[in-house]
Amino acid sequence: MLNSEIYPIFIVDGLSFFDEIYTFKTEKGIDFYVRFVNASHYFSEICASCQMVHEVSFESTVRNGGLDIKISNTIRKIIYLFIVKHESPVMFTCDSTDNLNHCRNKLFKNWYDQWEQKDLFQLEERTIVFDDYILNLGLIAYKWDPNIKEYLKQIDAGSLG
Partner 1 sequence: MAKKVIIKKPIPISIKEAIQKKKDWMKEIQSGNIFLPNSKPKRIA
Q: How many residues does the chain have?
A: 161
Of 65, 72, 81, 122, the residue at the interface with partner 1 (CB under 8 A) is 81
Q: Establish if 60 lies at the interface with partner 1 (CB under 8 A).
A: yes
Q: Establish if 26 lies at the interface with partner 1 (CB under 8 A).
A: no
Q: Establish if 155 lies at the interface with partner 1 (CB under 8 A).
A: yes
Contact in structure between 26 and 65 (CB atoms under 8 Å): yes
Whole-angstrom distance, CA of residue 95 vs CA of residue 101: 5
Half-sphere exposure of 121 (CA within 13 A, CB side): 27
Of 59, 69, 84, 103, the residue at the interface with partner 1 (CB under 8 A) is 59
Contact in structure between 83 and 121 (CB atoms under 8 Å): yes
Of 57, 110, 114, 117, the residue at the interface with partner 1 (CB under 8 A) is 57
Q: Establish if 73 lies at the interface with partner 1 (CB under 8 A).
A: no
Q: Establish if 87 lies at the interface with partner 1 (CB under 8 A).
A: no
